[in-house]
Amino acid sequence: MPVLYLSHGAPPLADDERWTAELAAWSADLPRPEAVLVVSAHWKQAPVSVSATTGDAPLVYDFWGFPQRYYEVTYDAPGAPGLARSVAGLLSGVGETLHQDPSRGLDHGAYVPLVEMFPEADVPVLQLSMPTLDPQRLFDLGRRLAPLRDEGVLVVGSGFTTHNLRWFDPSGGPDVAPPTPSAEFDHWAAEAVGRGDVDAVLDFLATAPAAQEAHPRTEHWAPLYVALGATSEAGDVRGTSVVDGFWYGLSKRSWQFT
């Protein structure tokens, strides 16, 4: 299976017909996965943990101040207990113990894009926490997850290529020209990921233009480290941009790794 890094957006991004069509077209070109493992920017928890495996835990509406309809979205995907056991086995091989959180449902970094990509909610889904924001440790975590690809598991890192909410101005409309720092970072990211420059991506605060402006906090960039790690065992970590462009000034560039 390929590995994905996608920009998931806030819940209102699901109202953007262009973005929803891009995700639907993307999933239509993918081989059908046996299961999906999502690493979202919105779940940082140590030790590394997995969400409920029963498929009946409520979604995590981890956002505030939106219209009520965003809190009524459902996504009743099957649980993935077999995938949880596989993840636990891969981590135990390097001396880590996987924690299971039976009350944890999917957060919006997982379900918002999955509603568009697998709208029938018929593919088992499991969410994995980021136990740290350290780039090398997350890259190594991704490397340990790489064997899941041979089991038909779609590993998805869900973040946002630029994520400075001070740039978000609803009055400008979704197609407003991005701020210069957002455009500069997006251009750098497209080139660095496109050529598979793992060192530059992991050290982006030192190598990328406007890095601290594009990511005042790094949690929305961090899922990319896991995606790169899960790809690295195949030897070629060059990513193909499947989605690009901006939404209210934020880069929604997303990559597929094969």
pLDDT by position in tens, the chain (length 258): 999 999 997 788 889 999 999 999 999 999 999 999 999 999 999 999 999 998 889 999 999 889 999 999 999 999 999 999 999 999 998 888 999 999 999 999 999 999 999 999 999 999 999 999 999 999 999 999 999 999 999 999 999 999 998 988 778 888 999 999 999 999 999 999 999 999 999 999 999 999 999 999 999 999 999 999 999 987 789 999 999 999 999 999 999 999
The superfamily (CATH) of domain 3-257 is: LigB-like (3.40.830.10)
Q: Which of these, 1, 10, 40, 4, lies nearest to 242 by C-alpha position?
A: 4
E-state strands within the chain: 3-7, 35-44, 49-50, 99-100, 125-130, 153-159, 239-243, 246-247, 250-251, 254-257
